[in-house]
A and B are shown apart, each in its own frame.
Chain A
Amino acid sequence: METHVVSNLVVALLLAGGVWTGVAIRRDRLWSEAARSLWRRRPIALIVVAVYLAVAVLDSIAWVGGGEGQADAVAAHEARSVVDRAFAGTREASFSAPLADAEFYGGRPLQRPGSHLFGTDILGRDVLYLTIKGARVALLIGGLTSMIAIPLALLLGVSAGYFGGRIDDVVFFVMSTLASMPGLLLLIALIMAMGRSTLSVCIALGVTSWVGLCRVTRGETFKLRELDYVQAARALGVSEARIIFRHLLPNLMHLVIITFVLMFSGLVLSEAILSWLGIGVDGSWGQMIDQARNELSRDPIIWWNISAAGVALFGLLLAVNFVGDALRDILDPRTLRENQ
């Protein structure tokens, strides 16, 4: 199957999942209350995250055709996303400052004077366009990696903490082994071994980032399984599986959410570091920053490139952190009590 078809399918799946979650939240009184209270506390952060998500979705819906009349002949036969189409034909010859009418060096007039909000880069590509395309990559890295790392960490951490004994020994050995290797080296080795692709970067990041959450959940499960309400559940004849799903996991959720948020930020940043080393994901903000690095030494300085990517990265991480922090406060009744 072609890449754009897969990507469209994933978008459809995610949208369906999003709608289903939304309906489930609306139906449940407690969750819909939590959602409302989240909106009351952090409306701006939520809007920012929603904008990033919308942009990423728009950049993921792609199809072939419709570009026949354009100068770039190759583009007509490639799958192009909604964002690609919106920015079609905005390419200039070289650098231009934000909203400039002429090229930065030489002063030749632009094809589309005054239309480049964030200027253009060395190849004349619109920086706003590149920045917007980075949102999809960032969310993909953060989201996909979390989807690999969190279930892995929960599965291993909870079973190690709850059952103890041999299982705990094995999990702890694996955790210690992974933790004793320099993360960056392991990351590079894994990416080299699997080949450079978005998926392999995500898997490598997932493999190196689950240990922290696993250790936290293991410790917390150790604590929780001795608590009176778990004992009480056992005395009521609740099965082990039910105890784990009804009594342990919900009490770990605030940890998972806060770790997800911290991890998300960390992952997007790690990718930037990988890009700097030349093994990141194409089109990421990290790569933009890496490419813009050299331009900082030019005179007069080319600042818009690195600023756009930096601000976009910062905006996403700040908003995600705000939302995660508020979510943790809302979902953990213990912090709720302190606020009332």
Chain B
Amino acid sequence: MSDTPAEAVIETRGLTTTFPGEGGRVPVVDQVDLQIAVGEVLALVGESGCGKSMTALSMLRLVPKPGRIEAGEISLAGSDLRRLSVPAMRQVRGQEISMIFQEPMTSLNPVATVGAQVVEAIRLHESVSKAEARRRTLDLFTRVGIPDPDSRLDAYPHQLSGGLKQRVMIAMALSTRPRLLIADEPTTALDVTIQAQILQLLRDLQQEFGMSILLITHDLGIVNELADRVSVMYAGRIIEEGSRVDILGEARHPYTRGLLLSLPSLASRGERLAEIPGVVPPPDQWPPGCRFSTRCGRVFEPCTTQVPAVSEITGTHRSWCFAVAREIES
């Protein structure tokens, strides 16, 4: 739970990713600092269009063109990923950091069997025979809970259900025992019952393999299920971070509170849900000062002109908000 650099698997400092806009390059990820410790699950939370996925892609140096990483440092166990050569970076992907995607339906190549795809992933990073890779694939399939794994090896993606495909994706991502698994909305496209199974599986595997997970989600229920720490992102910036209890129980930033209030609950049936007015503005219309100032109910003078500095609430809980800073002072 500590963020001393020695324990961190991966750490970003001042990570900034920009895309070209009308008046020059627009940052969609702006000065993002994240640390993920060994065996820790960090949830990155925010609405659509906040730059969560772009942060994850930046960590893998897979920002789609014409975007590019403008500044910052991404250190994986001490070495800066931004300085690696392209082939060395390719070795890091899959080997050290793996990623699973939101849409299991389209994340597998439709014209190759799922077994062949996992075998490819294994043989990409380790020189093992096809038979050995196949045997390990079979083990992985058993481990991720695919029933009848022997015959599923030779199945095509369209012959599997969404939940099974996501299990295949997880097997593929874990095939090289990465230190960090980036899970980008891993259960959004699945049924609720399947969601619970996949979350349970991720939790089991995380403990068994001792890896860290960067969980990208907008679903605070999932955060509660899986996360150790939470970083809340809004419009390209981290606006609040803390342990799961800090964020889900003691949230201070108006945006985090808004997110929590907009959760439907069984107790408050029939009442209108609280919502945060408006939507995340597109990156080229982000306001100066606090990015949330256009939608915040507690705006006062410095919010629209100055960028809020960090306020330490507790040892683990931090927030970037003028209102929170004033509450702490008084």
Interface residues of A (CB under 8 A from B): 29-30, 164, 226-229, 231-239, 246-247, 250-251, 253, 331-334, 336-337
State in angstroms the CA–CA spacing of A21 and B60 once bound together.
40
Q: Which residue of B lies closest to A336 (CB)?
A: B158
Q: Would you give the 0/1 interface string for B115-145, flagging 1 where the beta carbon is closer than 8 Å to chain A? A: 0000011001100000000000000000000
Given A239-B87, A333-B156, A337-B158, 12 more contacts at CB 8 Å?
A228-B107, A229-B106, A232-B108, A232-B169, A233-B109, A235-B62, A235-B94, A236-B93, A237-B90, A251-B109, A251-B110, A253-B111
B293 contacts partner chain A, Cβ-Cβ < 8 Å: no
Which of B96-104, B260-268, B274-282 contacts its partner? B96-104
- Count of chain B residues near A, Cβ 8 A: 35
Are the C-beta atoms of B111 and A237 separated by less than 8 Å? no
Are the C-beta atoms of A237 and B112 separated by less than 8 Å? no
Are the C-beta atoms of A250 and B99 separated by less than 8 Å? no
* CB interface residues, B 265-317, toward A, < 8 Å: none
Are the C-beta atoms of A333 and B125 separated by less than 8 Å? no
State in angstroms the CA–CA spacing of A253 and B110 once bound together.
12
B172 contacts partner chain A, Cβ-Cβ < 8 Å: yes
Are the C-beta atoms of B106 and A227 separated by less than 8 Å? yes
State in angstroms the CA–CA spacing of A251 and B109 once bound together.
8
- Which 5 pairs of residues, A with B, have the shortest CB-CB distance? A237-B93, A237-B94, A236-B94, A235-B99, A228-B106
B91 contacts partner chain A, Cβ-Cβ < 8 Å: yes
Are the C-beta atoms of B125 and A237 separated by less than 8 Å? yes
13 contacts between A and B (CB under 8 A): A228-B102, A231-B107, A234-B93, A235-B60, A235-B101, A235-B182, A236-B121, A237-B93, A237-B124, A238-B90, A250-B112, A332-B111, A334-B110
- Contact (A234, B106) CB under 8 Å given A246-B112, A250-B112: no
Task: List the A side residues contacting B256 at CB < 8 Å.
Answer: none
* CB interface residues, B 176-193, toward A, < 8 Å: 182
State in angstroms the CA–CA spacing of A135 and B4 once bound together.
78
Most buried by B among A30, A227, A232, A251: A232
Contact for B109 among A30, A229, A235, A253, CB less than 8 A? A229
State in angstroms the CA–CA spacing of A337 and B120 once bound together.
25
Task: List the B side residues contacting A333 at CB < 8 Å.
Answer: 110-111, 156, 158
Task: List the A side residues contacting B102 at CB < 8 Å.
Answer: 228
B95 contacts partner chain A, Cβ-Cβ < 8 Å: yes
B92 contacts partner chain A, Cβ-Cβ < 8 Å: yes
Task: List the A side residues contacting B154 at CB < 8 Å.
Answer: 29
Task: List the A side residues contacting B92 at CB < 8 Å.
Answer: 237
Task: List the A side residues contacting B169 at CB < 8 Å.
Answer: 232
State in angstroms the CA–CA spacing of A227 and B109 once bound together.
9
- Contact (A238, B111) CB under 8 Å given A228-B101, A333-B158: no
Say how far B95's CB is from chain A's closest CB, in angstroms: 7
Are the C-beta atoms of B107 and A229 separated by less than 8 Å? yes
Say how far A255's CB is from chain B's closest CB, in angstroms: 12
Are the C-beta atoms of A247 and B124 separated by less than 8 Å? no
Say how far A257's CB is from chain B's closest CB, in angstroms: 13
State in angstroms the CA–CA spacing of A29 and B124 once bound together.
23
Task: List the B side residues contacting A226 at CB < 8 Å.
Answer: 64
Say how far A333's CB is from chain B's closest CB, in angstroms: 5
State in angstroms the CA–CA spacing of A251 and B121 once bound together.
19
State in angstroms the CA–CA spacing of A332 and B158 once bound together.
11
State in angstroms the CA–CA spacing of A232 and B169 once bound together.
9
Task: List the A side residues contacting B112 at CB < 8 Å.
Answer: 246, 250
Say how far A327's CB is from chain B's closest CB, in angstroms: 14
Task: List the B side residues contacting A29 at CB < 8 Å.
Answer: 154
Are the C-beta atoms of B101 and A231 separated by less than 8 Å? yes
Are the C-beta atoms of A232 and B111 separated by less than 8 Å? no
Are the C-beta atoms of A237 and B106 separated by less than 8 Å? no
Task: List the B side residues contacting A331 at CB < 8 Å.
Answer: 111
Q: Which residue of A lies closest to B64 (CB)?
A: A226
Are the C-beta atoms of B94 and A239 separated by less than 8 Å? no
State in angstroms the CA–CA spacing of A334 and B105 once bound together.
13
State in angstroms the CA–CA spacing of A337 and B159 once bound together.
8
Are the C-beta atoms of A232 and B101 separated by less than 8 Å? yes
State in angstroms the CA–CA spacing of A199 and B231 once bound together.
67
State in angstroms the CA–CA spacing of A333 and B160 once bound together.
13
Task: List the A side residues contacting B121 at CB < 8 Å.
Answer: 236
Task: List the B side residues contacting A250 at CB < 8 Å.
Answer: 109, 111-112
Say how far A246's CB is from chain B's closest CB, in angstroms: 7
State in angstroms the CA–CA spacing of A236 and B90 once bound together.
8
Task: List the B side residues contacting A238 at CB < 8 Å.
Answer: 90, 94, 120, 124
Q: Which residue of A lies closest to B172 (CB)?
A: A236
* CB interface residues, B 61-108, toward A, < 8 Å: 62, 64-65, 87, 90-95, 98-99, 101-103, 106-108
Task: List the B side residues contacting A247 at CB < 8 Å.
Answer: 109
Are the C-beta atoms of A231 and B62 separated by less than 8 Å? yes
Say how far A32's CB is from chain B's closest CB, in angstroms: 13
Say how far B186's CB is from chain A's closest CB, in angstroms: 13
State in angstroms the CA–CA spacing of A116 and B255 once bound together.
92
Task: List the B side residues contacting A332 at CB < 8 Å.
Answer: 111
Q: Which residue of A lies closest to B61 (CB)?
A: A234
Task: List the A side residues contacting B65 at CB < 8 Å.
Answer: 164
Are the C-beta atoms of A237 and B109 separated by less than 8 Å? no
Q: Which residue of B lies closest to A165 (CB)?
A: B65
Contact for B62 among A229, A234, A246, A251, CB less than 8 A? A234
Q: Would you give the 0/1 interface string for B221-240, flagging 1 where the beta carbon is closer than 8 Å to chain A? A: 00000000000000000000
Are the C-beta atoms of B103 and A237 separated by less than 8 Å? no
State in angstroms the CA–CA spacing of A198 and B226 once bound together.
69
Say how far A228's CB is from chain B's closest CB, in angstroms: 4
Contact for B91 among A30, A237, A251, CB less than 8 A? A237
Are the C-beta atoms of B103 and A228 separated by less than 8 Å? yes
